[in-house]
Amino acid sequence: MGGGPFTSFRADHSRRVPSTGGYDSDCIYRHRIIIFSVGGFSGTVFGGLHCLGWNALFQGHTEQIIWRTASLAIVFVPISFVLLSVYILWLHDVDASDGIIANLALLTSLFVYIVARVTLIVLILMSFRSLPPGVYDTVAWTKFIPHL
């Protein structure tokens, strides 16, 4: 079949069966936009889940502001990532040389997303330093499970 580990992508490309209607450029462009849109939507929903902790109790007001900022970044960066990616795909089809700024903005948004995710993880780990006393209570699970 020619699909060994040393076969290049271009050599293997001609032997594959199209799975989404062929390999014409319009179909590939549309397929990439759909993938970016679904990824951006799911990333935005994921960030929205972090916004549920908007009014949660934190050790200080600074941690609450950092949580809110990082949560909003995780909500809005996937949207900007999708828009920039579609713009870059459009520039690639037009053969314009303005893609350097768009690629730089794309890398910057990716960096902001990574920093926001790491910030949320650090804030979660920092919240373990002062847990409420009820966390250490032993739950009698047999009271909650019905027996026959």
**Model confidence over 48-77: pLDDT tens digits?**
999 998 888 888 899 999 999 999 999 999
DSSP class of residue 133? G
Whether 101 is in a domain gets the answer yes
pLDDT value at 118 more than 90: yes
**How many structural domains compose the chain?**
1
Alpha helices in the chain (DSSP H): 9-13, 25-50, 61-94, 99-127
Whether 7 is in a domain gets the answer no
pLDDT interval class at 81 (50, 70, 90): confident
pLDDT (0 to 100) of residue 12:
56
Put simply, whether the predicted model's pTM sits higher than 0.85 gets the answer no
Whether 8 is in a domain gets the answer no
